[in-house]
Amino acid sequence: MSENTTTRRSRTHVSCTVNGDQVDFLADDGTSLLDALRDELDLTGAKEGCGTGDCGACTVLVDGRINCSCLMFAPEAEGCDIVTVEGIAEGDHLHPLQQTFLEGAALQCGVCTPGFLVSAKALLDENPDPTETEIRYALAGNLCRCTGYDKIVRSVQEAAVQLRGAAR
Amino acid sequence: MPRAHLMTPLRRFADGESVIEVEGATVGEMIVELDRLFPGLGEMLTMGSSAAVDGLIHAEPEFLAVEPDADVYFVAPLTGG
Amino acid sequence: MTITEDRPAYKWVGTRPIRHDGYDKVVGKARFAADRNFPGQLHGAFLRSPHGHARILAIDTAAAEVMPGVKAVVTGADFPDLPVGNPERDTGINLMARDAALYVGHVVAAVAASTRAEAEAAAAAIEVRYELLPVVLSIDESMADGAPLANPDNRTAFSGSDDPSNLATVTPLERGDVDAAFEAADVVVEREFDTAWVHQGYIEPHACVVDVGPDGRADVWASSQGHFRVRSQTAAVLDWDTARIKVTPAEIGGGFGGKTTIYLEPVAALLSEKSGRPVKIVMTRDEVLRATGPAPASKSRIRIAATNDGELTAIDGWIGYAVGCTNDMAGFVGAMSVASYKFPNLKMEFVGALTNTPRSAAYRAPSAPQAAFAIESVIDEIAQALDMDPIELRLKNAVVEGDLTSMGGPHPRVGFVECLEAIRDSEHYRSSVPEGAARGIGTGFWFNIGEQSSATVNLNEDGTATVITGSPDIGGSRASMALMAAEELGIDVHRITPVVADTESVGFTDVTEGSRATFATGMAVVNACRELVEELKARAATILGVGADAVEWVDGAAVAADKDPLPLAGITAKAKGTGGPLTVTASLNAGGAGPSFAVHCCDVVVDDETGRVEVLRYTTAQDAGTAIHPSYVEGQMQGGTAQGIGWALNEEYVYDDDGTMLNASFLDYRVPVASDLPMIETIIVEVPNPAHPYGVRGVGETGIVPPMATIANAVSRATGVRLSSLPMSPPKVLAALDER
Amino acid sequence: MRYAAPATVEEAQALLADDADAQVFAGATDLVPQMRAGRPAPSLLVDLKRIDRLTSVTHEDGRWTIGAATPTADLTRNEAFTAAFPGLSEGAGLIGSDQIQNRSSLGGNLANASPAADSVPALIANDGQAVIATADGTRTVPAAEVATGPGHTSLADGEFIVEFTLADPPAGTGDAYLRMIPRTEMDIAIVGAAVRVTVDGDTISDATVVLGAVAPTAVVVPDAAAALVGASVAGGTLDDSATAALAEAAEAACDPIDDKRGTIAYRRRVAGVLARRAAAIAVERARNGA
């Protein structure tokens, strides 16, 4: 076997904010943001379900907007504000969506849950009173194979009610 | 004597019989007796069967005790997803 | 909504606490298979066959072995050749080809390297010389006279024959006099059906990390429905002692049957053994779709006879399953799935036929959905022919306790009639059908299984408890275990920590499949708790200074006449002085898993210019026996239904003539998205299973059985055309409308 | 593989001039899946999103200028743009999920040269012009002339699309885009149809019909447009003979393939259906806007 483990990889220094913390890491230029978050920063909340932007399990907020982190090259994150599922609770205080997902049994296996929470948060940040149809279309980029979506949609509706109540 | 009921695929190993009365205090003893009557049937019962007794399906029923007037249905082992 | 037969009043069973593992899952802390890294870990990658069927003449790994970062390469030559008859022989061949590649995507070699990219590059540099062999891709091709063999290893199971064959199983079922019944029938409907290959579609791809130490012991971290099976299969495939292998269950990101077998662990183990480093392998989505267990495609012909007053007098039919490249029991198991109606006369044959496609794997009530699609479609057509309400027709013929199952033997107490009545009486069924839409009914069931489970319950010093089982939690079963323990012990469910332990920390437990975890493992938990309560009463007698017989266990406390109740925490605090730790392990081989029936109802609209089917409204009623945690029972019903809707409308494998899958992505393998579905209304029916202490029936399997016929029956009523081919995708529906 | 994020068009041109194997990208929503499916990795990834000109949208002197890398979410949320080109906004908004919408762009959608690209038929129907950075400057061509076949464009090595320009539609104009997918979201169009009409009184005075996913590129169908021009829309609906002729012309213009997503016969049939339905919407919008 070869003992030569050096390869001519181009690595870029990336400096950005992740869940409110200033972070710096080195990433292969072709590495996805998802792999950088998981492997360099050990933030394994975002998952790879497909690697092609079709399942949404890797969804993170980039400058306030949802992105499939599997489709983003890590160096693109330079200077960006990234929020992952690990960053949506406020300290020990769960985000209302996290709480309604738990109370509403909106997760079974839980592997799609991080992506759903991030997408749903982005939806409610922009549209505090979405219809069921708006919720379903806003979450259409996130696949869930366990729940049939029913309890997810209901939990988002319930969180929206709570958030509107808190805003009043 | 307890009665052994064979599901259709097993009948080809028992000259087409579907219900056979055989001695046995356990399902395993019934299988031994069935194999004596129909050589080769025992292997099929051991390899690919569960037994339903009194409405309950038992996997690997060899040592299950049976009443003298029991109906023992040899059925397929089941699985799931 | 829940419809419940009389039963004892429970304090915890039937409540909806937040699941114990939930917090980790909503904050991103839960560790799934791909979420762990071992120090010094390498990454594995595969070389897969580009051919549907090819003899492997030579494999040259020399170039790959000297590529950057490469630490180990393995091929089929590194695996022991298990004897024919060893049940894991096919498992081993499926995860690493030996003499021949049996399908496009079959693993031919594997590489471990410092990075995944290096491993992939090296795998691509391995040179394989193939001799192409004829490819068998369908049931018809497989069963044709003189058909080439899809896998020369195969023998027809239970046939007594040692001749190579494309037939995996041939299972006839017969009772009564079918010919006479058809002769005497008032109405006869006969149809042919076919269904496509479909995938379980779990969101988490298969992954594992294996670390084989210098002592030869393997530490395995894996995503699976059964880590004890990962251990036994890995040991069998490698011909290793079981005790060399420890498997720790990762959180599992969906399985639905597809993670009841292994694809990676023995390969990772050999790569780790060779390199002396931990090896991680994570499948891509493409690999998952191309090379892990889809459910079999099927083809069927069903003929049913009825009298004018709606008695179903006979069924005669044939159902074939394309099982993939190795022997599989799909046809055999499918035979067991026809037992919903009394049918005094029955003559059916079920066949499993080999094809050069991935080895099929269990998928939720394996083999039943294909059969139910055909049979429930024909029954609906009989209802139409007789102008009878589809539920009334089914009620007239539904099995009850004592009626024979398809394989013989009487049904135990079942809740089919209750489910039919629940739908008949539902607001949905009683409402008028929306303008332009049509309504369909379908039913299904699954026998469910028991099998072996172990549970250890530890009472802690402060009166809290730890419930340890070996059943991977794929849909909330930890919460169910805790609820049953809370009911037995009489303590708050959140003072109980349910744990899924590794293969060295809990007794042997079979796979979480067949809807058995809450049933069988739950029974083990109950047994352990009951034994603990006896021990608690004895300890309490010592503490209270009364005779052992004088103590009762009431609502979490020992109660004796003239004494203050002694709560559980008061006993655990004095455990040391009364005999030591309070811990009990219970193990069992559970019999008596009760069948769970379901009845579905849906409203659809069909766009008759494009063939698109939209599901407007959907209701499911299912017998759960007793719903331990109703939210997760509903979740199983809704999830199974959603998968069934996908199977019905859009999911299918598209192969080219060489057996290459053309749509191996979530873009083109179309599982339902949120906007495709309506809310899925649930009616939990509770007809307790007499064989379980709380009356539990497994609920995971059945939900996927009825949707295909339910939707087809609705589409048929909407359009006047009987859709007999799945999926009912827009092009197929439009073509059927054109033939109207 | 290296990554570069130039800040100006000129910097990007220089990078591309230096490396024949470089690849520009905006959202990478097609590039990443293609690379995972085995497309060779380029030596240099040139990220166009840090160039202000490529991500800005302006409306001046009756002309819209849309940066080629502007996320399509920015277009669908732009009320003035959506009011002017509702069909194009719809088409752009159909590219993938909300996640994808924050990455996908008109430039990427066109340059990827998929016949099924959802934003392209309406871009062509609205006579969009593509401003292309060449080795040493820019050139402008109709958007219809960029894609030449599946995966192929008229862009020379080193060229990339900078922006699109669109003239304000004349009064009484409406456009619409419809596509057929088996699901409700997350699919590639089996058929797409964009229709733009201008209504003068009760008569259609001008029309364009563009079909997607039924030929190697999006196709302009003059016969279908001819079926519309002169048709009466009195009472708000097209007359039956015009819609029948429109559908027939749309079907005749199809040169589809059988593939995993649809059949020739199905595509042809549904092209006529969608053309009719899109025309009805476009007419309604034209009348409301008139």
Query: C250 is written with which tokens?
Result: 């990762």
Quote the pLDDT of residue C740: 84
Q: From CA C153, how far away is CA A32, in angstroms rounded? A: 43
Question: Cβ–Cβ of B76/C158 closer than 8 Å?
Answer: no
- pLDDT level of residue A93 (50, 70, 90 thresholds): very high
User: Would you tell me which CATH number, out of the four given (3.30.365.10, 3.10.450.50, 1.10.287.3240, 3.40.1590.10), belongs to the domain C412-448+594-738?
Assistant: 3.30.365.10
Task: State the residue for tokens 């590219």.
Answer: D95
**Active site annotation includes C634:** no
Examine domains C7-30+450-590 and C412-448+594-738 and report if their fold is the same: yes
CB D218, CB D256: distance < 8 Å: no
Do both A71 and A107 map to the same domain? no
Nearest-CB residue to C731 (from D185, D187, D262): D262
User: What beta strand segments (E) does B1-81 contain?
Assistant: 3-6, 19-21, 50-53, 56-59, 71-75
Total number of domains constituting chain A: 2
Q: Is C494 on the interface with A (CB under 8 A)?
A: no
Please report the pLDDT score of residue C335 as a whole number.
85
Report DSSP state, residue C580: S
Q: How many CA atoms lie within 13 A of C656 on its CB side?
A: 12
CB contact under 8 A, A29 and D102: no
Give a yes or no: residue A1 inside a domain.
no
Residue-wise burial string across C124-156, b where 16 or more C-beta atoms lie within 10 A, e elsewhere: ebbebebeebebbbbbebbbeeebebbbebbbb
Q: Is the dihedral of CA C251, C255, C257, C258 positive or negative?
A: negative
Query: What parts of chain B have a pLDDT lower than 70?
Result: 48, 55
| Chain A, chain C: beta-carbon pairs less than 8 Å apart | 204
What are the residue ranges in chain C where pLDDT is below 50?
none
Q: Using an 8 Å Cβ cutoff, are C543 and C571 in contact? A: yes
Nearest to C48 by CA among C222, C292, C305: C292
Interface test with D, best of A14, A33, A48, A52 (most D CBs within 10 A): A52
pLDDT number for residue C515: 81
A44 to chain C: which residues are within 8 Å by CB?
Answer: 28, 31-32, 34-35
Following CA atoms C661, C663, C664, C669 in sequence, which dihedral angle do they give, to the nearest 10 degrees?
-130
Contact criterion met (CB below 8 Å) for C508 and C476: no
Q: Give residue B21's domain range.
A: 3-75
Phi-psi region of D209 (alpha: psi -120 to 50; beta: other; left: phi over 0): beta
pLDDT of residue A8: 55
Residues of chain D short of pLDDT 50, as ranges, are 290
Q: Would you say C303 and C379 are in contact if contact means Cβ atoms under 8 Å apart?
A: no
HSE toward the beta carbon, residue D175, CA cutoff 13 A: 29
Between CA C572 and CA C231 the distance in angstroms is 35
| Residues C134, D39: Cα–Cα separation, whole Å | 29
| Of C514, C535, C504, C662, residue with least CA distance to C590 | C514
Q: Is residue B43 part of a domain?
A: yes
Whether residues D33 and D137 fall in one domain: yes
Neighbours of C39 (CB within 10 A): 7
Could you tell me if A70 and A38 lie in one domain? Answer: yes
**B81 within some domain:** no
Q: Which helix (H) or strand (E) holds C153?
A: none
DSSP class of residue A38?
A: I
What pLDDT was estimated at residue A1?
A: 46
Alpha-carbon distance values, A13 to A16, A37, A75, A129, C673 (Å): 10, 14, 8, 41, 37
Interface contact C29-A86, CB threshold 8 A: yes
Residue B6: its chain C contacts at CB < 8 A?
A: 408
Q: Is C519 on the interface with B (CB under 8 A)?
A: no
Query: Any idea what the CATH number is for the domain that residue B19 is in?
Result: 3.10.20.30
Asked if residue A115 and residue A79 are part of one domain, the reply reads: no
Q: Let me know if residue A5 belongs to a domain.
A: no
Give residue D193's domain range.
Answer: 173-289
CB contacts of C679 in chain A (<8 Å) are 132, 150, 153-154
Contact status of D185 with chain C (Cβ, < 8 Å): yes
Domain count for chain D, please give it: 2
| Domain presence at residue B63 | yes
DSSP assignment of B66-78 equals: --TT-EEEEEPPP
Burial (CB count within 10 angstroms: exposed 0-12, middle 13-18, buried 19+), residue A41: middle
Contacts of D94 in chain A (CB under 8 A): none
Q: Which CATH number fits domain C7-30+450-590: 3.90.1150.10, 3.30.365.10, 3.90.1720.10, 3.30.930.10?
A: 3.30.365.10
Name the token pair of D23. Answer: 């690849």
> What's the pLDDT tens digit per position in B5-20?
988 888 888 999 989 9
Alpha carbons A69 and D261: distance in angstroms, whole number: 27
D196 lies in the same domain as D282: yes
- A65 shares its domain with A103: no
Chains near C (3 or more Cβ pairs under 8 Å): A, B, D
Q: Cβ contact (<8 Å) for C667 and D180? A: no
Closest-CA residue to A58 (of C28, C335, D144, C390): C28
Check: CB of residue D44 under 8 Å from CB of residue D25.
Answer: no
* Domain carrying residue A158: 96-167
Give the pLDDT score at D290: 47
CATH number of the domain that residue D77 is part of: 3.30.465.10
Beta bridge partners of D2: D44
Judge whether B26 lies within some domain: yes
Identify which of D254, D101, D236, D244 has the alpha carbon closest to the alpha carbon of residue D174: D236
Flag whether residue A81 sits within 8 Å of chain D, measured between CB atoms. no
Q: Residue C28: what residue type?
A: G
CB pairs under 8 A between C and D: 57
- Predicted local confidence at residue A7, as pLDDT: 46
Under an 8 A CB cutoff, do A108 and C475 touch? Answer: yes
CA distance C271 to C277: 8
Interchain contact, A71 vs D32, CB within 8 Å: yes
- Of residues C652, C671, C641, the one with CA closest to residue C203: C671
Look at the alpha carbons of C377, C383, C387, C388 in this order and tell me if their dihedral is positive or negative.
negative
Interface test with D, best of C197, C609, C645, C711 (most D CBs within 10 A): C609
Last residue of a domain, one of A51, A69, A87: A87
- The residues that bridge with D148 in the sheet, in sequence order, are none
Q: How far apart are CA C500 and CA C249, in angstroms?
A: 7
pLDDT recorded at residue B46: 81
Q: What is the DSSP string of C278-334?
A: -EEEE--HHHHHHHS-EEPEEEEEEEEEE-TT--EEEEEEEEEEEEESS---HHHHH
What is the strand order of the sheet D44-47 is part of? Answer: D2-4, D44-47, D22-25
Number of domains in chain B: 1
> Per-residue pLDDT tens for C548-596?
899 999 999 999 999 999 999 999 999 999 999 999 999 999 888 889 9
Cα separation, C44 vs C119, in Å, equals: 6
Assigned domain for B70 exists: yes
Q: Supply φ then ψ for residue D11, to 5 degrees.
A: -60, -40
Give burial (CB, 10 Å; 0-12/13-18/19+) of A73: buried
Whole-number pLDDT of residue C410? 87
Give domain status of residue B80, yes or no: no
CATH of the domain at A36: 3.10.20.30
Q: Do chains D and B touch (3 or more CB pairs under 8 A)?
A: no
- Integer Cα distance of C716 and C602 in angstroms: 12
C126 touches chain A (CB under 8 A): no
Mutation for testing the D interface, residue in A31, A65, A125 having most D CBs under 10 Å: A65
Where are chain C's structural domains? 7-30+450-590, 412-448+594-738
**Catalytically annotated residue among C273, C535, C701, C739:** C701
D124 shares its domain with D204: no
**Neighboring chain A residues of D69 at a CB cutoff of 8 Å:** none
